[in-house]
Amino acid sequence: MKETRDGMKADRLSKSASTDSYPLVLDIDAFKGEFSFDALFGNLVNEILPDEEKDSSEGHGILSGRKGVQGQLNPLFPEVDALLDLFKNSCTQLIDLRKKIDGKLNNLKKEVSVQDSKHRKTLAELEKGVDGLFDSFARLDSRISSVGQTAAKIGDHLQSADTQRENASQTIDLVKYLMEFNGSPGDLMELSPLFSDDSRVAEAASIAQKLRSFAEEDIGGQGMGGPSVAGNATASRGLEVAVANLQEYCNELENRLLSRFDAASQRRELSTMAECAKILSKFNRGTSAMQHYVGLRPMFDLGVMNADAKVVFGDQESQPNPSNVAKGLSKVYKEITDTVRREAATITAVFPSPNDVMSILVQRVLEDRVPNLLEKLLMKPSLVNPPSTEEGGLVLYLRLLAVAYEKTQELARDLHGVGCGDLDVEGLTESLFLPHKDIYIEYEQASLRQLYKAKMEELHAESQQSSESSGTIGRSKGASMTSSHQQISVTAVTEFVRWNEEAISRCTVFSSQPSTLAAYVRAVFNCLLDQVSIYITEGLERARNSLTEAAALRERYVIGTNIRGRVTSNAESAAAAGESSFRTFMVAVQCCGSSVAIVQQYFANSISRLLLPIDGAHAASCEEMASALSSAENAAYKGLQQCIETVMAEVERLLSTEQKATDYRSADDCIVPDHRPTIACTRVVAYSSRVLESAFTALDGLNKQAFLTELGNRLHKGLLNHWQKFTFNPSGGLRLKRDITEYGEYVRGFNAPSVDEKFESLGIMANVFIVAPESLSSLVEGTPSIRKDAQKFIQLRDDYKSEKLASKLGSIFG
């Protein structure tokens, strides 16, 4: 083992010693392309480094050898010397390579510097040459520009000379032609062939217009300057002859062209028509040709316009129906629009100024065909003697007017879309309806008044028919007294609102300005306020009349009482009439409230927003509404007062007839007291409950509270007055207290706290009849709320005199 290791070491040392004699390991080509240091390093050391397995086994041997031979150490990496020699040799070679490369680079830099100097010298020489070329080109451009300007001037002079020559030639020709027209007046036979050749009509027309313009200007100049010499006068007269002859020739030529235009139009030869139209445009800008073309359109024939009326009105002789008229107008106006659209295509292909022709065509439609139809449709009725509602009334005229206006506006928009030049279609359409719109609102108000009058007559007739069918039997008894009175109908008020809503919708159609619309809306809404105010006020007054008649019956029959104080059957009939009239008035009040609510809702939803454009109009309209309904409020207030009087009259009748003296003062006070309410109390409560059912249904809110409070106070006062007629013993006091409790429970349904307090005080007051005489002073002093009326009630005690209560209680009430 030792010999082997020594041999290997010697071999490696020999290799290391001879590294300088190694061939070149590194080559400059190794550094070209994709250079990899790892690959280069591997190529250098792979031959020196041992294999991995061999190295592993040798490693074990080394370790075992180190363990076996104590004190002798072997190197762990024997190849290190060889590698160091290799690396040193490689570094030497790399330095040599770098020196070689640096030498080459220096040589290249020198060569580049020499070439750069040569290149710079060449560029400098080229720049001098280019500058010289630029100077040459600038001189050449300046020369070319000068030559061009000279040529342009020569061209302008030549063109001017040619123009002057051409103008002179044309002037000579025009003078020659003018001399031909300067012959005898009306003599057009000896004119040049140009003026009679149909193939040169355009040229002849142009020359004739030039001659005519020249002659007329000359005559105008002579007239303004004045004929100072005879020569000028002669020339002027000669030109006047020429002007006359030219006018005659132009008229004859224009007629010939129009005839050719008509013939081509019948044959639908658009090219010939366009040629004629172009020539005719030289005569008054072609106005005669445009008007001639439009005037001959079949759409303006009398038969066609009469057919329009048949389409709109139909063959029926009855009054026109707005819905059918709307359909008819839509059909007629669509046919007109389609015809104009077809004509627009022809006009565009024929006329040099199609917009002017379209303007004339649309204007003719809106000034001839449409007005002819509207005159038959919209015959303005008289406000003094308007047509009856059976004939449609004023509202039929207004509905037809609205339909015609809307449909004609649609036609105007359609025609504007087809094309109408500079024509103000909207303004022309508005002018068709100005005679109707000027006093439109007066017709709207008159129509609403007419509808209201007719409705009132209808309701009155229905009421009369109902009265006659029910007969007159039993009216004397009062039960059917109010059957002949016309009741307030919420349906009728709803119909008033519907009329008004329809009128407002027409106002929006006819009023483009918000301020005008607001004024119209306010005027129309005031009509509704007047109608509803009159209607519900009259209805309430009729219901009040029934209350008044029932009161008269009561007064009449109360006299007919017998000796025992029993009211006769006629008085009971009068009471029944009063109850019926009470219900009738409450129904009227309920209908009145519903009607007012409908009007207020309509104002909030539809009217208020339309009044905003005018400052203060909304507030003023609210005041007008309150003022208009105030008469109804007054009638309702008076009627409710009468209702209270009616109820209290019957309550007093029941109390006077049903209340017995023994109810509160029995013959034997020792008998067990009766804790039931008296018959009179039961009858009064039953009657009041029955009759007030309609009041609870009809009234609401503050109106209901005020009515029931007033009725409760009157009932309290009436009972106090009633009980002042009786004398009470202790058992009667208990009976009275039971009645007061019954009345108190009944009025508690009124939800009136002040009334409840009064009946509670009455219940306490009844104790003055129950307690012993010696306890009265403590009762009165301990209950301050009854002190005011206690003295009057104490005087109703049956022992008031026997117990000398006046003297005993004098100190309390003194």
Q: Would you say 719 and 741 are in contact if contact means Cβ atoms under 8 Å apart?
A: no
Structure pTM?
0.68
Q: Which residues contact 366 (CB under 8 A, 6 or more apart)?
A: 412, 415, 425, 428, 429, 432
Q: Would you say 293 and 265 are in contact if contact means Cβ atoms under 8 Å apart?
A: yes
Q: Name the burial class of residue 155, with classes exposed (0-12), middle (13-18) and buried (19+) by CB atoms within 10 angstroms of its CB.
A: exposed
Q: Would you say 386 and 393 are in contact if contact means Cβ atoms under 8 Å apart?
A: yes
CA geometry: angle at 743 spanning 739 and 561, to 5°?
Answer: 75
* Cα gap 304→307, rounded to integer Å: 5
Chain centroid, CA 190 distance in Å: 75
Beta bridge partners of 728: 797
Q: Which residues contact 543 (CB under 8 A, 6 or more apart)?
A: 482, 485, 487, 488, 581, 584, 585, 587, 588, 589, 639
Can you list the residues of the chain whose pLDDT is less than 50? 1-21, 24, 53-54, 56-72, 223-236, 472-483, 559-567, 670
At 236 the pLDDT is 47
- Give the residue from 287, 395, 270 showing the smallest Cα distance to 343: 270
Chain centroid, CA 571 distance in Å: 64
Compute the Cα dihedral for 204, 205, 207, 211 and give only its sign. Answer: positive
pLDDT digits (tens, 9 = 90+) for 176-211: 665 555 555 555 555 655 555 555 666 666 666 666
Q: Helix 701-723 crosses helix 753-765 at what angle (to 10 degrees)?
A: 20
Q: Would you say 390 and 328 are in contact if contact means Cβ atoms under 8 Å apart?
A: no
Question: What are 546's two structure tokens?
Answer: 């029934």
Helix (H) or strand (E) holding 462: helix 440-470
Beta bridge partners of 797: 728
* Cα gap 745→741, rounded to integer Å: 6
At 17 the pLDDT is 38
* Cα gap 17→20, rounded to integer Å: 8
The single-letter DSSP state of residue 391 is: G
Q: Which residues contact 650 (CB under 8 A, 6 or more apart)?
A: 575, 578, 579, 687, 691
Q: Name the burial class of residue 772, with classes exposed (0-12), middle (13-18) and buried (19+) by CB atoms within 10 angstroms of its CB.
A: exposed
At 601 the pLDDT is 95
Q: Work out the number of other CB atoms within 10 angstroms of the CB of residue 44.
A: 16
* Cα gap 147→151, rounded to integer Å: 6
- Give the residue from 487, 478, 387, 396 showing the smallest Cα distance to 444: 396
Q: Name the burial class of residue 30, with classes exposed (0-12), middle (13-18) and buried (19+) by CB atoms within 10 angstroms of its CB.
A: middle
Rounded to 10 degrees, the C-alpha dihedral 639/645/648/650 comes to -90
At 574 the pLDDT is 80
First to last CA, the chain: 160
* Cα gap 373→765, rounded to integer Å: 88
Q: Which residues contact 547 (CB under 8 A, 6 or more apart)?
A: 578, 581, 582, 585, 639, 642, 643, 646
